[in-house]
Chain A
Amino acid sequence: MNKVFPNARTALEGLLRNNMLIAAGGFGLCGVPDRLIDAVRDSGVTGLTIASNNAGLDGEGLGKLLRSRQVRKMISSYVGDNKEFERQYLAGEIEVEFSPQGTLAERMRAGGAGIPGFYTPTGVGTLIAEGKATREFNGRCYLLERAIVADIALVKAWKADTSGNLMFRKTARNFNVPAATCGKICVVEVEEIVEVGALDPDHIHLPGIYVHHLVLGAPYDKKIEFRTTRLREA
C-alpha cells in the first residue's frame, strides 16, 4: 500500500472529470487544501459542483476556481467576503445551493456514514425548507435534508503518517473531517508526513481508512481573512 504521492498533480491524476462533485474542507482561509485546489485549477476541469462552507476570498482558496470559471455550482452556507463569488451569484453566473452551516456539515457526515438523509430542526419555516419534505416527531416539525456523497474530497491536515492517519491543528480541523468522510476518494495534503507508528493512536483525529491519497504540501504561508489583534499590553 502506498498512499503518498510526490505532488498534488500526481495525487489527483486520473481522478478529475468535468461536472464532478467535490467536497472541500476549510473555513474562511483556515484549513484550506490550497495545493490541491491549485492542481484542480491547473487541470482545467470545468462544470464543477463544490460543497464547501464558503469559497475563500477573491483569488484565494476556492476563489481561484471561481475566478477561472471552473465552478458551475456551489453548495455553501456563506457567499460573503468573496467579491467575485458574490458578483457571479448576483449576476446569475453561478448556481448556489444555500445550506445552513450545521446542515452542510451533517450532510457530509451523513454521506460518509451511509445515511442518505436526515431530519433536522434547522431551516423549518424558512426559504431553505422550500421543496423539502417535513415530518413531525414528538410534536416538533423537522426538515428532510439529503446527504452529500462527493466524487472526491479535498482535505488539508497538519500531520499524517504514511498510512493516512491524520492530525489537525487548532481550528483548521473545521470542515476537513466531514468532507474527508463523504468522498468516494479522499485526497489529503499535509504539512508533515511521519512514519507509521510515530503518531499516538489516541491522538489521531481521522483514521487512515478514510484517506486514499496523501501529499506533502509544505511549506505553507498561512493567511487569515481579518487580522485584528490587540495592542500588546505594556
Chain B
Amino acid sequence: MTEDLRNAIARRAARLLPDGAYVNLGIGLPTLVANYIPPDREIIFHSENGLLGLGPAPDESNFDPEMINAGKTPVTLLKGGAIFHHNDAFLMIRGGHLDYALLGAFQVSSRGDLANWATLGDNKAPAVGGAMDLAAGAREVWALMEHVTRTGAPRILDTCTYPLTAAGVVTRIFTDLATITINDGLIVEEMADGVTFDYLQSVTGAPLRVR
C-alpha cells in the first residue's frame, strides 16, 4: 500500500473522532491519524506505557530517551499531559475510560471479531502486546487496514482464519477502499474515489450493504 493510501485511511478516521475524545493509536498505520486531526478538535492521545497527552515527535533539541510511546519511539508531551505507570495505563483501557482504540488488523469479521496479533503460519513470533487489552477494554474499537492481502485475498471475512485478538469488538473498519460500519453486518459508509459497490463486494469476504 502506498504512503498516499495509508494517509488517506488515517485522514478518514481522524475526521470521525469527536472533540474531547481520549484515543489510543496502535503501532503502524493508526499512528498516522494524529497528523490529520482537524484543528477545531482537541483529541487526547493515550499510550499503554503510561502517557496521556502525547504530542509530536521531538526534534534533536528536546529528544529524551525516557520519553517514548508504546511503539518505543520518541514522543513529546503536550501541556496538560500526564505520566503514570503500566497499571494505571491499563486501568484506563480495561475500565472503559478510553473512548477509542484505533488498531491495525490482519483480518476483521462481519461480527466485529479482530485478528491482529498472530498468524501462526509464517516464521514470526506472535506479538500480543497491549492489543488484547485495548480491543477488550476501549469503548469503541476501529480497525485500520488494507482491504485485501498482498495476494489480493479479502481481509474482511465472515469468520477470521487467524487467531482472534478479541471477539465482536470492532465497530468501524477503515481501508484504502472504504469506510465500513459494523452493526448487525457490514454497512458501507463511504467508498474511495473510483470504487464501485460491486467491486468492493468482490474483494470483501462477507456480504456488504449500503445504509
Interface residues of A (CB under 8 A from B): 27-31, 53, 77-81, 85-86, 89-90, 96, 98-103, 105-106, 109, 120-128, 168-178, 205, 222-233
Contacts and interface: CB of A to CB of B under 8 A. Distances in A.
B128 A77 contact: yes
B137 interface: yes
B127 A178 contact: no
A177 B163 contact: no
7 contacts: A100-B131, A106-B94, A170-B83, A171-B69, A175-B86, A177-B85, A178-B86
B38 interface: no
B49 A174 contact: yes
Interface residues of B, number: 50
B27 to A, nearest CB: 10
B166 A125 contact: yes
Instruction: Give the interface SS of chain A, mostly helix, strand, loop or mixed.
Output: loop
Interface string B34-70: 0000000000000111110000111111011111110
B75 to A, nearest CB: 9
Given A100-B130, A224-B72, A30 B136 contact: no
A177 to B, nearest CB: 4
Interface stretch (B3-11, B118-126, B144-152): B118-126
Contact of B59 (A85, A168, A178, A233): A233
B66 A102 contact: no
Nearest to B63: A229
Given A79-B127, A126-B166, 9 more contacts: A86-B125, A98-B128, A100-B128, A101-B86, A169-B66, A170-B64, A170-B67, A225-B68, A230-B59
Contact of A171 (B49, B58, B132): B49
A20 to B, nearest CB: 23
Contacts of B201: none
B59 A120 contact: no
Contacts of B166: 122, 124-126
B66 A101 contact: no
Given A121-B136, A124-B166, A126-B164, A79 B126 contact: yes
A229 to B, nearest CB: 5
B113 to A, nearest CB: 8
B128 to A, nearest CB: 5
B129 interface: yes
B73 A105 contact: no
B207 interface: no
Given A81-B72, A171-B51, A227-B74, A177 B132 contact: no
A86 B123 CA distance: 10
B99 to A, nearest CB: 17
A138 B92 CA distance: 20
A178 B130 CA distance: 16
A30 B72 contact: yes
Given A174-B85, A230-B59, A232-B61, A123 B132 contact: yes
